[in-house]
Each structure stands twice: as structure tokens, then as C-alpha cells.
Amino acid sequence: MNALPYPISVSILYYGGTAGDMQDTLEGVKSLSAALKSKGHMVRTAEVNAKNWQRAVMVPGDVVFNLVEDEDYSLYTKVAKKLDRMGKAQVGIGWQGLRFVVKKARVKRKMWRVGIPTPGYRVINRRTKIGSIRGLEYPLIVKPSGQHAGIGISQDSVVIDKDELAQRVKYLFKNFSGEVVAEEYIEGREIQVTVLGNGNKLLALTPAEIIFGGEYKDNWNVYTYEAKWEKTSWEYWDARVACPPVLEDKLLKKIENVSKKSFKAMACRDVARFDIRLDNKDRVFVVDVNMCPSLNELDEQDATVISAKTMGLSYEDLIENVVAIAYKRTYKSLPDRVRERCFLLASPNI
């Protein structure tokens, strides 16, 4: 297909709300829109709900950001499937990866099956007997399988024995639908790595590290919902993103290789972020995959944005590159002026 004339038309579909993670989405819409308009692109935004979603996916856009991250991802899934059927250049998620976005249990099973280093785990349903769970080393971290953005993860998520495990599982079943994932808690450093590209042409941005300071010395070093979104909590202010982290070259290369391998194995597209833990032996464990990472310049703790800026890439250039990567994957070429500006895409490595 021939490239469409410059500029690129972009639509941003989003789901509104008042919770901290949804406020991040609204800020992200503003950031993305401003960045793309500053580059001369045409941008349209639409708030999506259960009544209008079929009309919303028809909003004109050569490239589409699907930020319809509703509570159970059911609306998000409908929008994603429809956009793919329409042949739109949907940033990030696609048919193959869609099932991994909505269920952490599926992510864990896939990583285990293809040999991506990840902590030992068990998937727990309502029929599982806690006493039958063996072969895992405590402490464990317990998460709702069907949630995202840290929802359902708190200091109470880390348990030290079967009694605490049973209590936490009971709490999650009471408050969330679906399965629960219990995995071995890796005591150590938390690293976040963003990867751009497709196929064998991948670029891992400079890693960012979550530095747990202050009151974390007497608590679990867990990047909880409060640490991510609740600005009135001690966890938010005592968990800071640092970039670049202090890492030896050999370990840095290992993290990069694991991230790229994970990107391919999990059928990621265009952009994805990997949450990694390093234990005291510098072993690398992938604990989560975010196929639709936040790209919010207004969030001073956005690891992807910070990583890009550390590499000398402005926010506007980062977003244009992400759009161009999705466009090129779908339409096989780029408008000339975009190609000239996208120095990452012009590189022989991506």
C-alpha cells in the first residue's frame, strides 16, 4: 500500500474515570494530542463507553491509540478486535497479544512455556485448596489475574506463610472476579525496560529503576497501586524512578536481551514495557508485561518517557516514532517527512 500524504491522521480513543490510573489516561490523552499536533499531525479524540463504542471506532485515523482501559477490559477488547478487523494501525496491541493483556495468568503460563525467566508461580481459582499449593518459596506476592495498573496490589499482597496466603486470596476473590496469581517474591531491584519496534528490528530504551527509599526500609519493596497513582500516600513519594540505573555492562546487556526475547515471545507490537526484578545474584526475572504502557509526559514518574529523554529523545519525537512504527507495520511505508524526522527508524538497527 502506498504511503498516505503527510501529515498522519491519528485518533485517540479513551475511557474516562476518576481513579488514579484513569486520571493518568486522561493526562496521557492530553500529552499525546499536544505532542502530535506540535509535529503537524491531525489528531481526533473520543471518549468511549458501552453505548458509543461502535461509532467511536469509526473516528477517522490512520493510526489509533486504544486507551479504552475499562475496569474489566471487556470494552477495551471489543474496540481492539474491531480496529484490527478494520485494518487500522492500532498502536501496540493486536489479535495475538490481546489475550495476554487481560489475564496475568496467561502471561505467566506463556513466559514459563517459552523459557522467559520468571518467578515460580501458581494460578489459584475458587476451587483451589491452599493446602495443596506446594513447591513455592515464601514470601509470595499475590495478584488478581484480571487487573492492570497495579489494581489489587498493596503492601498486603506479600505473604509469608499459608495462613496469610489464604487470607489474601479470600480478600481478592471477594473484591475481584477471575483467578489469582501467587508468585515467588523476588527481593531485589525493580527495573522497567521499554522496547520499540517490530520483528527483528527492536530497540530497548535505557532501563529505568524504581528506587524504594524512605519508609520502604520497614516495608516490602513493591510497586503498588498507591505507589503508582496515589499522590497522598507515602508509597508514591518514597518510590522514585531513576534513569539510568547503575548496572554493569554485562548485566545491562542481559536485561536488554531478555526484554527483546520477551517482546517477540509475547507477540508484542510497536511498544511494550517489561517489569523486571533482579535478585541478589543479579538474576533477571520478568514479572509483568505491559503491552500498552503509559505514555504520559504529565506524569513525572512515567518510566518510558524518562527512559526516552535519558537517550536524548524528546517526548514529541518519542510519540511520533511510536506512531510511525505502528504506521509502517500496517501500511509498509512512511510519509516522506516523517521518515526524515524519525532518526530511530532511519537507523539500520530498527
The alpha carbon torsion through 311, 281, 234, 274 (nearest 10 deg) reads 50
Residues 51 and 129 in one domain: no
73 or 212, greater pLDDT: 212
Grid coordinates in use for 108? 505467566
**Does the residue 111 lie in any domain?**
no
**If you ran DSSP here, which 8-state letter would residue 117 be given?**
-
pLDDT recorded at residue 228: 86
Which pLDDT does position 252 carry in this prediction? 95
Whether residue 330 is found in the same domain as residue 315: yes
285 in the same domain as 164? no
The pair phi, psi for residue 345, each rounded to 5°, is -70, -30
Confidence at residue 18, expressed as pLDDT on a 0 to 100 scale: 57
Based on the domain organization, do 161 and 195 belong to the same domain? no
* Arithmetic mean of pLDDT, 282-308: 91
Instruction: Answer yes or no: are the C-beta atoms of 313 and 35 closer than 8 Å.
Output: no
CATH number of the domain encompassing residue 257: 3.30.470.20
Beta strands in 222-283 (DSSP E): 239-242, 270-278
Q: Does a structural domain hold residue 88?
A: yes
Q: Is the pTM of this model over 0.85?
A: yes
On whether both 90 and 220 belong to a single domain, the answer is no
Where among 184, 202, 229 does a domain terminate? 184
Shared domain check, 233 and 148? no
CATH of the domain at 29: 3.40.50.20
For 77, phi then psi, to 5°, come to -65, -45
Which of residues 94, 112, 143 is at a domain's end? 94
**Same domain assignment for residues 336 and 235:** yes
Is there a single domain that holds both residue 156 and residue 242?
Answer: no
Q: Are residues 167 and 262 both part of a single domain?
A: no
Q: Is the pLDDT of residue 22 over 90?
A: no
Residue 148 has pLDDT above 80, yes or no: no
* Domain assignment of residue 1, yes or no: no
pLDDT for 323 beyond 80: yes
Q: What is the pLDDT of residue 243?
A: 94
The range of the structural domain enclosing residue 29 comes to 9-94
pLDDT at 239 > cutoff 60: yes
What average pLDDT does the segment 273-277 reach? 95
Is residue 43 in a domain? yes
* Whether residue 165 has pLDDT greater than 90: yes
The per-residue pLDDT for 107 is 85
Could you give the number of structural domains in the chain?
Answer: 3
**10: phi then psi, degrees, rounded to nearest 5:** -125, 135
pLDDT higher than threshold 50 for residue 4: no
What pLDDT sits at residue 74?
A: 83
Which CATH number belongs to the domain containing residue 149 in this structure? 3.30.1490.20
Residue 1 has pLDDT above 50, yes or no: no
Contact 323, 91 (CB under 8 A): yes
Q: What is the pLDDT of residue 26?
A: 87
Q: What is the mean pLDDT of residues 296-300?
A: 88
* Predicted confidence (pLDDT) per residue in 251-269, tens digit: 999 999 999 999 998 889 9
pLDDT band at 3 (very low <50, low <70, confident <90, very high): very low
pLDDT 10s digits, 76-115 = 889 988 998 999 999 987 766 776 666 788 888 888 898 9
Non-local (6+) Cβ contacts of 231 within 8 A are: 20, 237
Is 332 in the same domain as 241? yes
Give domain status of residue 4, yes or no: no
The burial class, CB within 10 Å (0-12 / 13-18 / 19+), for 9 is middle
Query: For residue 48, is pLDDT > 70?
Result: yes
pLDDT at 285 over 70: yes
Does residue 163 sit in the same domain as residue 193?
no
Report whether 73 contacts 101 (CB < 8 A). Answer: yes
Which pLDDT does position 91 carry in this prediction?
Answer: 94
Residue 340 pLDDT level (bands cut at 50, 70, 90): low
Quick one: 224 and 322 in the same domain? yes
**pLDDT tens-digit readout, 186-215:** 999 999 999 999 988 899 999 999 999 999
